[in-house]
A and B are shown apart, each in its own frame.
Chain A
Amino acid sequence: QVQLVQSGAEVEKPGASVKVSCKASGYIFINYYMHWVRQAPGQGLEWMGIINPSGGSTSYAQKFQGRVSMTRDTSTSTVYMELSSLRSEDTAVYYCARRAGAHLDYWGQGTLVTVSS
């Protein structure tokens, strides 16, 4: 069965960086794009970007350009999302989600990133 398992919660100081992982299993990793979506406490869902696990190409939301980097490791079927220059507004749950066609059919369990001094 398809599973996306994310790394554990992180606490970071303002200005630092955080790297969240998402390990995929149960399907052919390189055949499905992976998206990242975040959700601030009590707020809605915000799309961050996408990575093609096959070639590694990426596309990021304008809001995060220059601060976000999405990478993958095909040997471990894992994608990574790194966000730098963290500020308090980046406190959120970060999700990876598999793209099937034009929708997100499987989601990771979420990783809480807390930015606090």
Chain B
Amino acid sequence: DIQMTQSPSSLSASVGDRVTITCRASQSIITYLNWYQQKPAKAPKLLIYAASSLQSGVPSRFSGSGSGTDFTLTIASLQPEDFAIYYCQQSYSTPWTFGQGTKVEIK
């Protein structure tokens, strides 16, 4: 199985900050990498697919980059509604696997 490792596990940031979350795969997944946002007691929501494509309706302050084994999710200017847990997920091969999550908290 492909292991997905996110860093950091948690971070504290202020509204307006630029936030970067990284995700590393245990082998090359080309660009089969997706990012999801999850808020308490809610289902995950797709933000970015295929490493860098913005899902329809998602604000443009979210962006993704990377290929191979190293990927990044960036929030250009953190907004109050962005405090949540973010997960990366590979869809290169089954079983699809998720990172352990990164909790973004208010500083």
Contact = CB atoms under 8 A, between A and B. Distances in A.
Contacts of B38: 45
Nearest to A109: B43
Which interface residue of A95, A97, A104, A109 has the most chain B CB atoms within 10 A?
Answer: A104
Contacts of A105: 46, 49, 55
Contact of B89 (A45, A62, A109): A45
A50 interface: yes
A32 interface: no
Contacts of A10: none
B46 A103 contact: yes
A50 B89 CA distance: 15
Contacts of B68: none
Q: What is the interface of chain B mostly: helix, strand, loop, or mixed?
A: loop
Contacts of B43: 95, 97, 107-110
Given A45-B44, A110-B43, A103 B94 contact: no
A101 B87 contact: no
B98 interface: yes
B65 interface: no
B24 to A, nearest CB: 16
A8 to B, nearest CB: 15
Contacts of A73: none
Closest 3 CB pairs of A and B: A103-B49, A107-B43, A102-B91
Interface of B: 32, 34, 36, 38, 43-46, 49-50, 55, 87, 89, 91, 94-101
16 contacts: A37-B44, A44-B101, A45-B36, A45-B101, A47-B96, A95-B44, A97-B43, A101-B50, A103-B49, A103-B89, A104-B44, A105-B46, A105-B49, A107-B43, A108-B43, A109-B43
